[in-house]
Amino acid sequence: MNTLMKTEYSSMWVLSKNNTKTGVCVAQYIGRTDAECMESCEGCPLLESKHCYAHFASFVRVSHIRMIQCMEKENGKKYTMKEVYQDRFFRAARFIRLGARGDPSRSKVDTEQGMDVAKIWNLPVIGYTHFPEDVPQWKGRMMASCSEWEEADELVADGWKVAMDYEFPHSGITSPDGHQAIWCPHESTGGKVTCGECLLCCTEKESVPIILFKHKLPIWEKGRVNVGRNKRRNVSEVQ
Ligand code: SF4
Ligand code: SF4
């Protein structure tokens, strides 16, 4: 870890209403500046490879930067849980999404608060960390993320539910150690299922121990997949 890095970052909370993948949810963004958010991910392999969905393969980063700009205005929103609760659409929220951008293990105090408030609000929690070794106390409360089958098997054996970044996923895969995996229903149905309907990533929901997510390309590389005939065939085969 970079020694200049803070050990604890503050979070921003928002009622996310327009995300077609998640549906309406309460979302936590780590860091109160763009730089802080990126720092909170230091050490994550998807940051280095630029395959992180939140930073490079979607408009999640743009949304976060807009929130930060809004917060910096005089009388701007502060992005607190109180504001979320006071939002007139709050009752439409189906779950709390920890670490919509940034890693929640680098914002332990606010993440713990989010988990506590989720109980009071009676909302399920969905969250992922790439640093499960730093937060063993969250085992059973959020998922551990990885990109290799061996690591997935180790994490499952250690008691974690696992989210794995995978290049060409399809249903019914079994890990080398025999743990069952399923491809995220939102991805496998081409977007017909939202997280609020699925909730497989909620650790309290019974499911197979490993959930697979299609390997994401940075926005600036997506066009290359579409012009490659073989790659295009491969992508459609698994959808
Ligand atoms: S920790 Fe999460 S948000 Fe950060 S780079 Fe890794 S996958 Fe992306
Ligand atoms: S598995 Fe379900 S809850 Fe998890 S990301 Fe996919 S749709 Fe959302």
Share of the chain above pLDDT 70, in %: 90
pLDDT at position 238, please? 22
Decide whether any atom of ligand 2 lies within 6 Å of the 207 Cβ: no
Long-range pairs of 198-206 with CB within 8 A, sequence gap ≥ 24: 199/94, 199/95, 199/124, 199/126, 201/126, 201/128, 201/143, 201/161, 201/163, 202/95, 202/124, 202/125, 202/126, 203/125, 203/140, 203/141, 203/142, 203/143, 203/161, 204/124, 204/125, 205/124
Exposure class string for 206-215: b at 16+ Cβ within 10 A, else e: eebbbbbbbb
Domain membership of residue 195 (yes or no) is yes
Q: Which domain holds residue 160?
A: 11-237
Domain membership of residue 39 (yes or no) is yes
Q: What is the pLDDT of residues 177-188, one digit of tens each?
A: 999 999 999 999
Q: Pocket around ligand 1: residues whose beta carbon is below 6 Å from it?
A: 41, 44, 46-47, 52, 54-55, 101-103, 130
First to last CA, the chain: 38
Confidence of residue 4 (pLDDT cuts 50, 70, 90): low
Domain membership of residue 34 (yes or no) is yes
Domain membership of residue 1 (yes or no) is no
Measured from the CA of 198, which atom of ligand 2 is nearest?
2
Determine which residue's CA is closest to atom 5 belonging to ligand 1.
47
Distance 99 CA to ligand 1 centre (A): 8
Mean pLDDT of the chain: 89
Domain membership of residue 163 (yes or no) is yes
pLDDT at position 76, please? 87
Q: What is the pLDDT of residues 85-94, one digit of tens each?
A: 999 999 999 9
Q: What is the pLDDT of residues 62-83, one digit of tens each?
A: 999 999 999 999 888 999 999 9
pLDDT at position 237, please? 24
Domain membership of residue 2 (yes or no) is no
Determine which residue's CA is closest to atom 1 belonging to ligand 2.
184
Residue 55 makes CB contacts below 8 A (sequence gap 6+) with 38, 41, 47, 61, 101
Residue 3 has pLDDT above 70, yes or no: no
What's the rounded mean pLDDT across residues 206-217?
90
Measured from the CA of 40, which atom of ligand 1 is nearest?
4
pTM: 0.89
Domain membership of residue 4 (yes or no) is no
How many domains are there within the chain? 1
